[in-house]
């Protein structure tokens, strides 16, 4: 599948160029929360979107879309424009947008209205704003897609799984073009408080830019963020016939499940996902020059993933962890990191792992740090793992 369009809105920037430039420069998108409700939480830092996506929408859409849906629409619009707005029959255009939480902000906000002002205060748009498939529906309506609108929900692997589903739709002959990606936006006291109760979040409230530390020996959890990432995938023959500009090829995808634990990772499932992606792409571990790691900054998760990468691919690929700069965008993370992986292939620049002072024991990888590394990357993996034992690995080639 050819990648012809890229779109994103992240804590680093409101679009792909600004997010990529900030990532390469080593800037952090993590800041201290300045809302009054944050003061009563044990965690008071997060990665909010650099730009409010609602500002790019008309007044009607601003009122009728959840924040996660608005982010998806903005990112999809950018990707569609970047692809040159393909002239494709509606019946040959599909949309796949994954999410981990969906319209959680809407649900919580409307519940507050119900409790404070009664049922007549509830917005009539509540149901389409909170349903998990709402973002996929909004993007499908934006583009007029009629070949299917899908919404995989596989926690933090959702955005990556959306791209995997997109490849299946094109390979099966059901679509010529698929807009695929992920979105999440639920920076709310309940969500932050719940993750904090799990002891999953970093507690570096006094140093937000130092909080997200994948692979570092001083890491203490992930930083919750929000945003969206989208790509346009096209059947090779269709893209070439229209003279499309091609960024890279999504050559393979591996999807596995652990059947082990709801929250704890299992290296065996990750190894199988990497192996499946390599086989699907017709590659071997020695072909991989770069890995864009899931690496959230949790003590157990990073060590587990490092072991899986070593076993499945080896120690030779240059490894980065974009969450060190963006924080963890939950269901959007896999899609945003896929965008960054494609840009690495295009520009021959591997972003650095921010805040990496000393890799902890058990992480024996070639970690990029200090600044971007110039390299001729021919093939790269982007890994995504989610609660529930979801493992998705995408293989991209130049």
What's the start-to-end Cα distance of the chain, in Å? 12
Between strands 177-184 and 290-292, the pairing is: unpaired
- The answer to whether 185 and 71 have CB atoms below 8 angstroms apart is yes
Strand-pair category, 366-367 with 318-320: parallel
Give the Å distances, CA to CA, from 49 to 26, 93, 206. Answer: 17, 29, 20
CB 202 within 8 A of CB 32: no
Q: Is 247 a catalytic residue?
A: no
Sign of CA pseudo-dihedral 317, 323, 328, 329: negative
The β-bridge relationship of strands 349-350 and 373-374 is: antiparallel
Active-site entry in 156, 188, 247, 322: 156
Residue 186 is a catalytic residue: no
Residues near 196 by Cβ (< 8 Å), separated by ≥ 6? 41, 42, 43
Report the DSSP beta bridge partners of residue 374.
349
Q: Which of 150, 290, 328, 390 is catalytic?
A: 328
Q: Which of 290, 294, 322, 390 is catalytic?
A: 294
Question: d(Cα 158, Cα 311) in Å, to the nearest integer?
Answer: 24
Annotated catalytic residues are: 156, 294, 328
């Amino acid at each position: 599948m050819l990648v012809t369009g890229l779109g994103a809105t992240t804590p680093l920037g409101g679009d792909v160029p600004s997010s990529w430039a900030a990532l390469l420069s080593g800037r952090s998108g993590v800041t201290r929360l300045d809302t009054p409700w944050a003061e009563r939480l044990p965690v008071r830092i997060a990665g909010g979107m650099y730009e409010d996506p609602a500002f790019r929408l008309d007044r009607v859409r601003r009122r009728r879309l959840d924040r996660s849906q608005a982010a998806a629409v903005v990112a999809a619009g950018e990707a569609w424009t970047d692809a040159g707005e393909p002239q494709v029959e509606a019946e040959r255009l599909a949309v796949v947008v994954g999410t981990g939480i969906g319209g959680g902000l809407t649900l919580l906000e409307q519940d507050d209205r119900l409790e404070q002002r009664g049922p007549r205060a509830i917005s009539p748009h509540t149901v389409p704003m909170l349903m998990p498939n709402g973002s996929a529906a909004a993007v499908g309506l934006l583009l007029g897609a009629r070949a299917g609108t899908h919404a995989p929900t596989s926690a933090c692997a959702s955005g990556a799984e959306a791209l995997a589903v997109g490849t299946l739709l094109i390979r099966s002959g059901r679509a010529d073009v698929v807009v695929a990606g992920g979105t999440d936006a639920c920076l709310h006291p309940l969500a932050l408080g719940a993750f904090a109760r799990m002891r999953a979040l970093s507690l570096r409230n006094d140093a937000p830019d130092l909080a997200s530390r994948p692979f570092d020996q001083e890491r203490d959890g992930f930083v919750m963020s929000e945003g969206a990432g989208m790509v346009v995938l096209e059947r090779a023959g269709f893209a070439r016939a229209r003279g499309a500009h091609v960024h890279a090829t999504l050559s393979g995808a591996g999807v596995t499940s652990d059947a082990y634990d709801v929250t704890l990772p299992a290296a065996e499932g990750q190894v199988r996902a990497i192996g499946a992606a390599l086989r699907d792409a017709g590659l071997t571990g020695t072909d991989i020059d770069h890995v864009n790691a899931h690496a959230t900054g949790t003590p157990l998760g990073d060590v587990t993933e490092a072991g899986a990468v070593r076993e499945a691919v080896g120690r030779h690929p240059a490894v980065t962890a974009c969450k060190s700069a963006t924080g963890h965008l939950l269901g959007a993370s896999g899609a945003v990191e896929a965008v960054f992986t494609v840009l690495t292939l295009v520009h021959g620049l591997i972003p650095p792992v921010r805040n990496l002072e000393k890799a902890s024991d058990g992480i024996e990888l070639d970690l990029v740090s200090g600044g971007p590394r110039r390299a001729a990357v021919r093939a790269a993996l982007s890994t995504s793992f989610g609660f529930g034992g979801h493992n998705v690995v995408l293989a991209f080639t130049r």
